Structure formats: C-alpha cells, structure tokens
Structure 1
Amino acid sequence: MAKKKVLKTNAIRLIEQKKIPYTEYTYEWSENHISANDVAAQMAGKAGQIFKTLVAVGNKTGPIVAVIPGDEEVDLKKLAKESGNKKVEMLHLKDLEETTGYIRGGCSPVGMKKLFPTFIDQRATELSLMIVSAGRRGLQMELKPTDLAKVVNGKFVAIVATE
C-alpha cells in the first residue's frame, strides 16, 4: 500500500522554514463540527491547549488576529484597546478567505496572506505547548507559545471576555 502524501499548508511550510519544532495532529471534521470545542472533543487530554484563531477589523489598523483559548470568547473592547483601535468588529465570514487565505475551521495565525497584527491571549504563557490550526480543516499543530509569537510577531495580552 502506498504511503498517503499529506499536502503541506502555508502554516506548516513557514514553521518548517523557521526551523520551529512542532507536532502535527489530524482529526475528523464535518461542516457541522469545526469549532475549537469540536476539535477538543477529539483530542482528549489536550483540550486546555487548543486555541482558536479569530480575525477582526479595527477602525484604524484594519485586519487584526486574536488567538484565544478554544472555549473562550474574545472581548472586542479589550482587543480594540490592545491593538490601538477605538472600535473592533469581527471580520465578515465571507471576507475571511480573501483576507487571510484560509477558510472557517482552518484559519491558522501562521502563514496568512499578510502578517497582520496578532494578539495571543496571555493564558498561552502558562502553557509549555499550545495547539493552533495548521491551516486546513482537520489539521492542528502543537508548538511553544513563544515560538508562535515569534513567527507571527505576536503580543501576549488579556483579550478574553471575563464574567
């Protein structure tokens, strides 16, 4: 039986080009189950490490990227303040692929069409390894939070909604 060839994504190519160690994970997905919580359900023992990538638009900066724990919500006011914007709103889903090169459920903070200002929730600094999308539905990568920040020029900040 021939070995199945896995197509590399922009995210993985960039991580490898920068010689950053990572671990690749695959999981089953469907159109109805592509949220970070659905991924976590399939990656037992890793749920607390899974972060989702959200893209917003600031009134001054344009597109900005938020990387937050998979089970949390982004606080748009905090994100606006941290990013130097007065107002931030989520990027319309219809504009995601054109803006980033990625589709919903496969949006990685690494390897977007442009390097947008990226804000990683500070909870990532409490982990030795975190998991983010590797640029395709059904594909995740685990790496050090500091390595992720380095490759996307990210800043660790408090941007999740608190009760």
Structure 2
Amino acid sequence: MSRLTHASTATPALRVLSLAGVDYTVHEYDHDPRARRYGSEASEKLGVDPQRVFKTLHILVDGEPVNALVPVSGQLDLKALASVAGGKKATLAGVAEAERRTGYVSGGMSPFGQRVTLPAFIDESAAQHETVFVSAGRRGLEIEIRPHDLFMLTNAGVKRIAQLD
C-alpha cells in the first residue's frame, strides 16, 4: 500500500492516518451530487465489492453517541449494536447532529479525525478482507486500509453488528 497526501485531498482523516504512520491508499472518484446511497456509489465507481466498503454511522446507544461501521452491502443491526455497546436501545442520530458532532458531512463521515473521539464498533466481517474501504472525510474520497489498522486506530469493538445481504 502507499500513501497519497495531495494538499487538495488533505482531510482531518488523512492527517490522522499520516501521523499514525500506517499504510493506506486513497481512492478518489467523481461523486454524483444526485446520489443518495453514498457507500453504494463508492463501491460501484471504484469497482470494489460492497462487502469491503464500510459506512460510518453515527448512532445513539441509550442516548450516548457511538460510531458503527458496517458494510454497505448490509444493514446495521440496532439491537446487536446496543447489546455489544452495553446498552438497551440504539437509534440512528439525526443528520444535523451527526454532522455537528463529527465535523463531517453525511456521506463523507470518516471514522478518523472526528471532532470528538467516540466509542466505535465495527462489524466482524471486516476481518475477512485483506483491505477495506472507509470514507476519507468527504464524498468521492475513500481510504483503503488493512482491517487490523482500522481496528487499532479506532480502538473499536469488533463484533457482529450487521445484517448482511
């Protein structure tokens, strides 16, 4: 893997990865502003299996914010997430709340470089791949990274939290 750090693509997420010294690759594609399924768009435009592209979701577990990363080919299992996070109920945070708390726009939410470090949970299916993709902090920009590095840098709990298609 290599690193790509063009000034035009420097996001907080890429700065975190550069400082951490892990290997990663940045992939850029032309985002269609009409697209509403951002992860699926990334998968299609990059020609990557949707099981390897992970969306970062901002979730409230018993009212406390957490990040949940699941493949775009599946859905977050809210009950499973609440259980692994030690709570009773998980709900999706509103878009405005998620953007305010993370500092990223919807569809460009990276698990790295958020305004506040939150507990993170990643679906265990990520470990099945040599590399996975997550947002680099803006629509049309993805990070390819080894799952171990993703787990380590997010200090994530790695459990089954997705219902895979």
Q: Structure 2 length as normaliser, TM-score?
A: 0.91
Relative to structure 1, the CA distance from residue 7 to residue 26 in structure 2 (aligned partners, 3 Å threshold; closer, same or farther) is closer
Helix, strand or coil for the counterpart of 2:30?
Answer: coil
Match of 2:57 in 1: 54
Superposition TM-score, scaled by structure 1 size: 0.92
Equivalent of residue 39 in structure 2, options 33, 36, 40 = 36
AA of the residue aligned to 1:97: E
Moved over 3 A (4+): 45-48
What whole-Å deviation, never above 9, does each CA across 1:92-138 have from its counterpart, x for those lacking one?
Answer: 01212111111101000111111111001000011110100001111
The range that moved more, 129-138 or 32-41, is 32-41
Q: Give the match for residue 17 of structure 2.
A: 15
2:50–2:71 Cα contact (<8 Å) kept: no
Task: List per-residue Cα deviations over 1:45-73 (Å, max 9, x = no partner).
Answer: 4433211111101116x111111111110
C-alpha separation between the residues in 2 aligned to 1:154 and 1:20? 16
Structure 1 residue runs without a partner (length 5+): none
1:25 counterpart residue number: 27
Aligned length: 159
In 1, Cα distance between equivalents of 2:10 and 2:28: 13
Q: In angstroms, what is the RMSD of aligned CA positions? A: 1.6
The counterpart of 2:152, out of the listed 131, 150, 153, is 150
- Aligned pairs for 1:4-153 within 5 A: 5-34=7-36, 35-59=38-62, 62-153=64-155
Q: 1:161 maps to which residue?
A: 163
